[in-house]
Structure 1
Amino acid sequence: MSAVSPALSHVPREFADVIRAHMADLTEEMIREIQASVPEYSRPGDEEYVRAVRRAVEEALRHFLVRVAGNGASKGRLLEVYRAIGKGEANEGRPLDSLQAALRICARVAWRRLAVESETLNLSRQRMCEVGEAILVYLDEIAAAAAEGYAEAQIKVAGERESRRRRLLDLLVSDPPADSRAVEDMARAVRWTVPRTIAGVALAARSPGVAARPALPPDLLSDLDRSDPCLILPDPEGPGRARALDVALRDWVVVLGPPVPVHEAVHSLRLAREALTLARRGVLACDQVIRCADHLSTMIIFRDEALIRIMRRVRLAPLRALRPAQRDRIAETLLAWLQSGNANEVAARLHIHPQTVRYRLRQATELFSDQLKAPDDRFELEIALRARALAAQAVQH
């Protein structure tokens, strides 16, 4: 590898001498123009920051001179300096465009100095073009190094920020609940506005191993890498919130827990996970976002399945005397009637003739006459019939 790039080898040593002689003036001129043209660098009252800008300009000029002199050993040092500068820009939250604009200004000032000194140095037009090209090549080298450092810092900053966001999610769903001050401090650290209400969201990939990484709204906290992936959705009752989940998470089964105050997030997520288990069993349909708030009675029924099995045996004992197909017809019709109380509505729901409904209801009344009188008995009978229907749905799934 040559000690100096071909473009820099064309720079006359006399021009390097001019830069060396006017180093202080060139540095001041470049700093003034940078501060005047790039708002992000306009901090005349910040002495530490002005020193940082001055160091970047002086390093660029000094290493340019060293490179022109043929000392290639300085290239690695220069690139490290500008990688560090790029990292600093990312950590400060400034766009890379600002740094690139500042470097272009430095090149423009250097070119102006070349134009002023060209006659004294007796430079031909060809030579002028070669020097201009050398300046641009050098500019590209340090800009590329700065961009590399910028990208590295962005990855690190993004990783740290994501780690803090996951920590915030853990605090929100911890049991017992974390201290509210710890939640507020972590929320400030990641610039997350603590909402009035939130909802836990439980997830499962529809096809394990092939679920796409979703593009989620920035205010939504997520951890998709844990064994039980989950989200925290702020303001879950806001317009379009559930729909946004449905669009972003097409490859996932999504269960939205009930809206709760922030300190009850763990309960919302727990219910979402319980509903997700029911969805996996086929008890709840999962073709779109499942809202726990729409299935609370179903979740209650399946909360203690041993108790429900006993209730079914006790309340549905009269059905055991029937043939399986007849048993299903009577149970289906009686449940629909208990839920609506109207034979015509039952007929419409089950897509059968009203007369057929009345016939089945007469049979049901004979079988369950002692359970259709008291409200409590009717309530338990409806629960038992609904549990039977849901269990049959899960078996079919």
Structure 2
Amino acid sequence: MAGQDALEAHGRIAALPTSLAAALRPILPTVAEEIIAVIRAEVDEYRRPFGGDFGQRIRVGVELALGEFVGLIEDDSQPPDGSRMMRELGRGEVRAGRTVDALQAAFRCGARVAWRRFGDAAREQDVDDETLIALGEAIFAYIHSLSALSVEGWAQEQSLRAGATQRSRDLLVGLVAADPPADPEAIAAAAQRLGWEPPAEVVVAVVASADGPGLLLRVDPTVVAAQRDDLTVALVPAAARPDDGPVVRRVREALAGHAGAVLGPRVGWSGVSRSFRHAHALLALDRAGLGPDGAWPLDAGAHLDALVVHADAAAADDLADRVLAPLDALPAGRRARHLETLGAWLDHRGHGPRMAEELHLHPQTVRYRLARLREVLGDAALDDPDGRFRLEIALRRRGERR
């Protein structure tokens, strides 16, 4: 036995007269059978035949505990050998999918029966009341220490399983977020290893956070989340179209107002890596000051145009430099006025009254500004569809169209 509970129990057992052992040992088989019968009768989770490995473990555990208790009365210096068995009982509850509550109830049943039967045997030996009280205290302290060992085993197994599960999550998320993208068969195999049934459609959430995946894992048991560098990446099952479904909605609510949170577009399972790439790319744009305005979490599916514009940064920069070169050559004040006018012109397709309303200028002033803008850029840049398209891309690349 180990720990404070074990030390207290050992001290109480050591204080009992060794002569008690001779009175208790003959009834051990009978007491063990009664304890097992009471456990089956009173603990719902154990209302079944004690056959197979399960029944064998319980039976051996009861017999070992009773024998060890009496053995320590005889010789408190002997090393206890039940610690491993008690921890294994706790681990077995995890493997069976049960909480530790049922096992704790079984220990309480055992303590009650042992105290009643051991007390009867001690009274038949004319043991005085003080010794009877000490015997009862020793029994309950001993059973409490065994119960603590089983809880320890249960917690250890839970920790091991949680660690193994998280490693499987890490593997799956790592494959989804791999660059270049992992083979779809490898991703499917990782999902199978986790025991996760891939949804028909999925949304990948990317969150800039060092807090780990706990928040998203708590949203719904079907969410798979893991930490990847300074990001939390989560695979979120989506419902059949047209809406995203309850799990995605709960994730969106959990991330509301969380700066640095992006949801990738909803895709079929085979496109899960694509959803991650889009969400990750939009987050990178935001970090670079080029992201779209909007409430967190951002929705990458609603900003695919921004991803297209910035996909090839060098090409987009070269285009912007070429198209906006005439404006870049102007003094800062004139350049700013021309950019403001150009934005309004693109927004309203050259409709003067609406431009004037947006710019809070007199229509005549707007016409004057447009004339100066045409002098700088040329009529072709403003009137040609391809020219307007290039201007739109250039402004978006420069962050002038948010």
TM-score, normalised with respect to structure 1: 0.84
Aligned partners of 1:4 and 1:68 also within 8 Å: no
Superposed displacement of residue 101, structure 1 = 1.0
1:317-337 deviation digits (Å, cap 9, x = unpaired) = 443564321122122222222
What is the alpha-carbon distance in structure 2 between the residues aligned to residue 139 and residue 351 of structure 1?
83
1:340 shift after superposition: 2.8
**Structure 2 gap segments, 5+ residues each:** 1-5
- Taking the aligned partners of 2:344 and 2:118, their CA distance within structure 1 comes to 92
Superimposed CA distance per residue, residues 5-36 of structure 1 (whole angstroms, 9 cap, x where no aligned partner): 33213545554334321222211111111122
The code of the aligned residue for 1:246 comes to L
Match of 1:41 in 2: 46
**1:123-149 deviation per Cα after TM superposition (whole angstroms, max 9, x unaligned):** 333332221101011112211222222
Instruction: Summarize the Cα distance change of 1:233–1:69 in structure 2 as closer, same or farther, 3 Å threshold.
Output: same
Counting matched residue pairs gives 383
Q: What is the alpha-carbon distance in structure 2 between the residues aligned to residue 305 and residue 187 of structure 1?
A: 34
Q: Which residue of 1 aligns with 2:369?
A: 360
Kept in 1: contact 2:290–2:399 (CA 8 A): no
Quickly say closer, same or farther: Cα 1:74–1:328, change in 2 above 3 A.
same
- Where do residues 227-306 of structure 1 align in structure 2 (5 Å cutoff)? 229-235=232-238, 237-239=244-246, 240-247=249-256, 250=258, 253-284=260-291, 288-306=296-314
Comparing 83-92 and 330-339, the one that deviates more: 83-92
Alignment partners' CA distance in 1, 2:263 and 2:311: 18
Question: What secondary structure, in the 3-state scheme, does the structure 2 residue paired with 1:71 have?
Answer: coil
Asked if the contact 2:206–2:231 (Cα under 8 Å) also holds between the matched residues in 1, the reply is: yes
| Offset of residue 4 of structure 1 | 8.2
Aligned to 2:337: 329
Gaps of 5+ in 1: 206-210
Alpha-carbon distance between aligned partners in 2 of 1:79 and 1:179, rounded to the nearest angstrom: 47
Cα shift at 1:376: 2.6
- Asked whether the 8 Å contact 2:262–2:298 carries over to 1, the reply is yes
| 1:151 shift after superposition | 1.8
Provide the identity percentage.
Answer: 32
Q: Distance in 2 between matches of 1:114 and 1:123?
A: 11
Matched residue type, 1:140: H
After superposition, give the CA deviation of every residue in 1:260-313 in whole Å (9 maximum; x if it has no partner): 111111122222222222111111168732221232222222222333334334
Answer yes or no: is 1:164 the counterpart of 2:168: yes
Tell me how far apart the structure 2 counterparts of residues 88 and 121 of structure 1 sit (CA, whole Å).
Answer: 39
In the alignment, which of 191, 197, 208 is matched to residue 187 of structure 1? 191
Separation in 1, partners of 2:120, 2:328: 106
Normalised to the residue count of structure 2, the TM-score between the two structures is: 0.83
1:138 equivalent in alignment to 2:126: no
Give the one of 3, 6, 13 matched to 1:8. Answer: 13
Deviation (angstroms), 1:67: 0.7
2:217 matches 1:212: no
Out of 11, 15, 19, the position equivalent to 2:24 is: 19
Query: Aligned-residue CA RMSD in angstroms?
Result: 3.1
Query: Quick one: which amino acid aligns to residue 268 of structure 1?
Result: S
Render the CA deviation track for 1:174-195: whole Å, top value 9, x for unaligned: 5555455x65554355343322
2:75 corresponding residue in structure 1 = 70
Q: Which residue of 1 aligns with 2:229?
A: 226
Is the CA contact (8 Å cut-off) linking 2:58 and 2:89 kept in structure 1? no
- Tell me: CA distance 1:321–1:120, structure 2 relative to 1, closer, same or farther (3 Å): closer
**Contact 1:253–1:288 at 8 Å: present in 2 too?**
yes
Tell whether the 8 Å contact from 2:10 to 2:76 is kept in structure 1 after alignment: no
Q: Is the CA contact 2:39–2:109 (under 8 Å) kept in the aligned structure 1? A: yes
The alpha-carbon distance between structure 1 residues 193 and 374, as it changes in their structure 2 partners (threshold 3 A), is same
Residues 203-250 of structure 1: CA deviation (Å, up to 9, x unaligned): 434xxxxx4344223433223253665332322833534534525x94
Check whether the contact 2:43–2:102 (CA below 8 A) recurs between aligned residues.
yes
Change (3 A) 1:121 1:279: same
Inter-partner Cα distance in structure 2 for 1:360 and 1:242:
47
